[in-house]
Amino acid sequence: MDWHNTSVLVTGGTGSFGRKFVEVMMKEYQPARMIVYSRDELKQHEMRMAGFDHPNLRYFIGDVRDLSRLQRAFNGVDLVVHAAALKQVPACEYNPMEAVKTNILGSSNVVNAALDAGVKKVLALSTDKAVNPVNLYGATKLAAEKLMVQSNAYAGGMTTRFSCVRYGNVVGSRGSVVPLFIKQRETGVVTLTDERMTRFWISLDQGVRFVIRCIEEMQGGEVFVPKIPSMTMVDLAKAIAPEAEIRMIGIRPGEKLHEVLISEDEARTTVELEDMYVVQPAAALWFGHQWADNGKTMPDDFHYASNNNSEWLSLEDIQRIIAPIEAGLEKGIE
């Protein structure tokens, strides 16, 4: 892919993912134009002050709920990474229509604006919570996934293609439990909802680089899932606060004991590659079905969950991963 002649836009560009994505793109890929699209002028200002100020970098203030603004922003854009979302589970539960407006209707606006502007590729970020969702956040992300995959039918004879990336919790991102545990460590008590709980984990840098790889390889209609390790939440608490008491407070509404990245129902169309899975579109779309030639198909009873994972992080692994996050928090870096 010729990044030097590509105009790239990222929605939610001032979030944890967006900032890291812009950093990697500008340092290593140097696109012809890099557009940060977000609704928060303060965070855009803070990005500029932090050194995100390059002649090829643009800042657009706008909301994915605003179709006309998206249409203006997408003019001349080749590639869109759709990372904007309301993602805090309790906030989505308490403000359900706001979650629907941003995560579902906002994704629909991204699709329509991309089709109207002739954007070549749109890659949307999803989450393990979209698989067999038990909370509103997961349900809205599932709907957003379906919108992206099925909107390839609208692309038809046009060049626009839509795909998704689905991965687990990002270590140290905004809203992550890691900063919370670090703060609780000072009190001598760390709270967990259930001692059996497991989670998938991926670093911000790994997530960004996986997205870039999927952009280069996507055909349209796929959901890309990286092979990532699991950890128990008890081990995470012990790694961060080994001297603290771990207190169980009970599972919260909308929370799962274990997360799932691929369900049994998706296994029929899933292909396993060396370091990722590709969920091919189940519907009869024109593209996105060539992956079986590159990997192996999965048995019908396969599912990829955080508690049946073949790769687990040890206490030492976790401590090594969170060390730079702790160092950043000590310096006042989010």
Distance CA 254, CA 185 (A): 26
260 Cβ contact list (under 8 Å, min separation 6) = 128, 131, 132, 303, 304, 305, 306
d(C-alpha 56, C-alpha 212), whole Å: 19
Q: Which residue has the tokens 């996934």?
A: 145
Active site residue 20: no
Task: Quickly tell me which residue has 């001032």 as its tokens.
Answer: 14
Question: Which residue out of 20, 87, 121, 129 is catalytically annotated?
Answer: 129
Helix H or strand E encompassing 33: strand 33-38
**Catalytic positions, please?**
129
